[in-house]
Amino acid sequence: MSGVKEKAPIDLMEPQWRVSGSDYVTALAWSPDGSTVAAASASGPILALAGETGQVVHELPGHGMGTLALGWSRDGRWLASGGQDGKARVWDARTGVETLALDGGSGWVEHVAWSPCTNQLATAAGKFVRLWKDDGELIQAHDDHASTVTGLVWLRNGSERATACYGGVKLWRIGRNAPEKYFQWKGAFLSLSLSPNDKHLAAGCQDASLFVWNVKTAKNVGMSGYPGKIGLLDWNDSSRYLASGAGKEAVLWDFSGAGPANREPLVLSHHVDRIADLKFHPQQDILATAGEDGMLILWYIPEGGMKALCILKSQLSRLAWNPQGVSLAVGTAEGDICQFVND
């Protein structure tokens, strides 16, 4: 793996706004129009904050035993959350009122994902994956996974979903009980990410390896050499680059042309502690990384230049670009939510 050196000075910035939450920030999610960012905490409460000012729009009780996941419906009307109480809850974004409490089927609801085409909600809890209408009607259930589901994503067509667990990745079509495709691998997957063009499914493994499947052909490529398990994955908007995180470094694979086979990745090194989250800019080839060292760094791809936006005293836990890419929300281990402007 080839390293990338710093090409720009560190440019520290103060956040545009900062709000103190109740506990460790476990999830951040922007509404589709960028007007509101939701922040979930390990103790349960969820804050809905105005994107421009940080003003509290709603303070939701969330999940009593801890909130784990957040997701906005495509029209921004509903905010879904998943938690350790075994429920997926749906909140009216206008009023802050809870409208649905859905039984996930197991102990923790770790994943919630709205269809990109309809207001259908998929949830994953333990071995149980369920699909719901926005009125709470259960459409479909896939309760036969071999182990805990560690990844849940929709394809852009809105009729298929992919799930990851020990043993492989399955592709499910609405209305069919058996998987449409099954990409098998004897290993434990921790993360799952679909390229924006629906061409590739990437899965990070417990054994410090990464596998990527072509959705149509099922051909796969494996990458190894990581310092630890791979829990962080994200694609850039053009589907050319896949960013992965394990330990203190972000590793970038190029899927242009013949793909990453026999091609050295870019290794982005500057953090002095574990990277807690990473996300690509929604329109540009800029990767943001948030570290437990308190650093928020922007990496400019493919040049490899970098700019550190901040060094906070607290560990960073989550980050999220707003849909327009003009700002970044960051959550900390102490419960703070900050916004930085991308200039």
260 and 283 belong to one structural domain: no
Q: What single-letter amino acid sits at 14?
A: E
Closest among 161, 302, 164, 319 to 240, alpha carbons compared: 302
d(CA 79, CA 112): 10
Question: What pLDDT digit, counting tens, does each position of 20-64 carry?
Answer: 988 999 999 999 999 999 999 999 999 999 999 999 999 999 998
219 and 283 belong to one structural domain: no
205 and 99 belong to one structural domain: yes
Does 310 or 204 have the greater pLDDT score? Answer: 204
Closest among 323, 293, 325 to 310, alpha carbons compared: 293
75 near 116, Cβ under 8 Å? Answer: no
Whether the pLDDT of residue 109 is over 80: the answer is yes
| Structure letter (DSSP) for residue 308 | E
d(CA 44, CA 166): 28
Which of 211, 245, 273 terminates a domain? The answer is: 273
- Out of 7-16, 216-225, 290-299, 319-328, which region has the weakest mean confidence (pLDDT)? 7-16
As given in the structure block, the two tokens for residue 202 are: 């990437």
249 and 286 belong to one structural domain: no
313 — pLDDT class (breaks 50, 70, 90) = confident
Does 176 or 96 have the greater pLDDT score? Answer: 96
49 and 81 belong to one structural domain: yes
The predicted model gives 232-257 an average pLDDT of 96
- Cβ atoms < 10 Å from Cβ of 340: 20
Through-space distance between the first and last CA atoms of the chain, rounded to whole angstroms? 31
238 and 286 belong to one structural domain: no
Pairing type for strands 2-4 and 266-269 reads parallel
123 near 114, Cβ under 8 Å? Answer: no
- Which pairs with CB-CB distance under 8 Å and at least 24 residues apart come from 54-63? 54/16, 54/17, 54/18, 54/19, 54/337, 54/339, 56/19, 57/96, 58/91, 58/93, 58/95, 58/96, 59/96, 60/91, 60/96, 60/98, 61/98, 62/89, 63/87, 63/89
pLDDT for 10: 53
Whether the pLDDT of residue 137 is over 60: the answer is yes
Which of 224, 253, 273 terminates a domain? The answer is: 273
pLDDT for 175: 87
pTM (2 decimals)?
0.94
Closest among 332, 331, 302, 288 to 314, alpha carbons compared: 332
Pairing type for strands 286-291 and 275-280 reads antiparallel
pLDDT for 6: 44
Pairing type for strands 241-246 and 232-235 reads antiparallel
Whether the pLDDT of residue 227 is over 70: the answer is yes
224 and 324 belong to one structural domain: no
267 and 296 belong to one structural domain: no
Question: What pLDDT digit, counting tens, does each position of 145-163 carry?
Answer: 889 999 999 999 888 999 9
278 and 239 belong to one structural domain: no
Which of 226, 247, 273 terminates a domain? The answer is: 273
Query: Which structural domain, as residue segments, surrounds residue 302?
Result: 1-27+274-343
How confident is the prediction for the chain on average, in pLDDT? 92
Question: What pLDDT digit, counting tens, does each position of 71-86 carry?
Answer: 999 999 999 999 999 9
CATH of the domain at 97: 2.130.10.10
219 and 71 belong to one structural domain: yes
- Total domains present in the chain: 2
116 near 130, Cβ under 8 Å? Answer: no
220 and 73 belong to one structural domain: yes
How many residues in the chain? 343
214 and 108 belong to one structural domain: yes
d(CA 217, CA 212): 12
| Structure letter (DSSP) for residue 264 | P
